[in-house]
Chain A
Amino acid sequence: MELRVKALETILTEKGYIDPAALDVIIETYEHRVGPRNGARVVAKAWSDPDYLTRLRQDATAAIAELGFSGRQGEHMRIVENRPDMHNLVVCTLCSCYPWSVLGLPPVWYKSAPYRAKAVIDPRGVLADFGLKLPADQTIRVWDSTAELRYLVIPQRPAGSDDLSEEALAALVTRDAMIGTGLALAPGTTS
C-alpha cells in the first residue's frame, strides 16, 4: 500500500489537483491539534457550568464552538447525556461517522465490522467487550449516526469529583466515555 499511495500522490501532484503542502497540514491537524482532549474540555465545562450545559442542550454546535472546536465532521453536533437510568452509545452502522471536531479521528474498532454490526443488536455485549457491565435495568440507547448529526456522549460525573477544577475534571473524561463504550474515570485513577 505504501507504493500504491505514493504513486497516487505523484499522479495527483503532477496533474495539479493537490498541493502536497496541504496534505501535510491535514495530517498535522489530525495528529496534533484535533483529538479527544477537545471533547473532554466540553464535558468538564458541561459538568461545571449549568449555563453552559443549557447552551449545549439548545445548540451544541454553537456551544462547542465557544471553546474553539468546530469544523469537519462536527458541523451539526448534538449532546446526549447519561443518567442513572439511561446510558448512551454511539455507532455508525453504515460507515464511520464520528464527531471529529471533538474526538479527532475514530479508532480502528469504531470503523470495524464487529462494532458496527453488534452495537445496535447487542449493545450490552459490546460493552462487555470493553469490560464494562451496567445495571440490567439501565436502558442503553444506541445512536446510529446515519445522517450528518454527530453525537457527543456526556458521561455521568463521577462521585467524589465535586471539588475538582475543570482541568482536573477533563482528565477524568476518556475518549471511550464520550462514545459510550466507557465511563468517566473515578478521581485518583488514570487512564
Chain B
Amino acid sequence: MNGPQDLGGQMGHGPVHPELDEPLFHAQWEKKALALTLAMGACGAWTIDTSRHARETLPPAIYLTVGYYEIWLRALERLLVTHELVSEAELVTGRMLQPALPVKRVLKAAATPALLAAGSPCDRPCISPAAFQPGDRVRMLNDHVGTHTRLPRYIRGRVGEVVANNGSFVLPDTNAHGKGESPVWCYSIRFLANELWGAGADQASEVMVDCWEPYMTRALA
C-alpha cells in the first residue's frame, strides 16, 4: 500500500541525526514493546508480513511522528484486537474482561534462546522454473495496491537489471493477508541512479532492490 512506510526518495525529512553514545533503549517501556512484539509473534496468530502491514496502516501523521518502538506497540495493539485476542475495552481498562482464546503456542522462557537462535527462515521451494536470469532487463509493475507489498513506489515502472536469483521465498503480498505463502523466486535488481531519479541524480550511485518475480515483466529492448 502507498502508506507512510514507503519512504524511499521522499524529501523534506531533513538530515540524519546519529546519536553519540546512543543507548540501546531510550525508555524502559521500549524493552517491553520489543519483547511483547516478539513473544506475541511466537503465538502464531499472525505472520511477520501481517505485522508489517499493521504498522504501515497506522495513520501517516502518527507513523511519522512517534518512535519506532511505539509504531510496534500500536501495531501490536491493533493486531490483538483484529484477531480478537484482546478487546478494545480491555486495552482501555488494562484488565482482562473476557476469557482468552486458544493460541498455537505460548513462548516459555526456557524455549526462548533456542527460538531466537533459530529464527524463522522463509525460503521455500518453488515448483516453477525461474523466469529471469542474471543480465535480463526487467520493468517493475506500476500497480498501486491497497494491500501489503514490498515493491516500493520509487522503483515502480522503472527498468533494472537482474543481478542474482536469491532463491524462492514466501511472498509477502499474499502471506500478509492469510492467502498463503505462495513461494516465488526473489531477485536482486540493480537500478541506475539516472533511471530512478533523473538527470540531477548522483550518477556514481545505484540501488539494489530485492524483488519477487510477480513484481516485474521482461523489459522490451
Contacts and interface: CB of A to CB of B under 8 A. Distances in A.
A146 B152 contact: yes
A76 B202 CA distance: 30
B118 interface: yes
A17 B13 contact: no
Interface stretch (A37-45, A48-56, A120-128, A155-163): A120-128
Contacts of B67: 108
B117 A70 contact: yes
A22 B68 contact: no
B121 A75 contact: yes
B199 interface: no
A129 B14 CA distance: 10
Given A23-B36, A26-B38, A95 B52 contact: yes
Q: Which of A22, A27, A31, A71 has the most CB of B within 10 A?
A: A22
Contact of A25 (B36, B55, B100, B109): B109
24 contacts: A2-B27, A5-B29, A8-B94, A9-B32, A12-B86, A18-B40, A26-B35, A29-B113, A71-B119, A72-B115, A93-B152, A108-B68, A112-B16, A113-B64, A117-B8, A122-B202, A123-B205, A140-B202, A141-B208, A142-B205, A146-B209, A147-B150, A147-B210, A149-B186
Contacts of B16: 109, 112, 114-115, 118, 126, 129-130
Q: Which of B19, B112, B196, B207 has the most CB of A within 10 A?
A: B207
A145 interface: yes
Given A11-B91, A94-B152, A140-B202, 12 more contacts: A1-B29, A15-B85, A15-B86, A18-B107, A19-B107, A22-B112, A76-B121, A122-B202, A123-B205, A142-B208, A147-B166, A147-B169
Given A73-B119, A96-B68, A117-B13, A10 B209 contact: no
A24 B108 CA distance: 11
B219 interface: no
B118 A70 contact: yes
Q: Give the size category of A's interface with B.
A: 35 or more
6 nearest A-B residue pairs (beta carbon) = A7-B94, A93-B8, A147-B210, A21-B109, A15-B100, A23-B35
Interface string B38-56: 1110010000000010011
Interface of B: 5-11, 13-19, 22, 24-29, 31-36, 38-40, 43, 52, 55-56, 64, 67-68, 70, 73, 76-77, 80, 85-86, 90-91, 94-96, 99-100, 103, 106-109, 111-113, 115-123, 150-152, 154, 166, 169-170, 186, 188, 196-197, 201-202, 204-212
A144 B18 contact: no
Nearest to B55: A95
Interface string A55-77: 00000000000000011111110
B6 to A, nearest CB: 6
Interface of A: 1-12, 14-19, 21-27, 29-31, 34, 70-76, 78, 93-96, 101, 104-105, 107-109, 111-126, 129-130, 136-149, 176, 181
B109 A19 contact: yes
A62 B131 CA distance: 27
Given A122-B202, A141-B208, A26 B116 contact: yes
Given A8-B36, A93-B8, A14 B13 contact: no
Given A9-B32, A17-B40, A114 B17 contact: yes
Contacts of B36: 5, 8-9, 12, 18, 23
Nearest to B70: A1
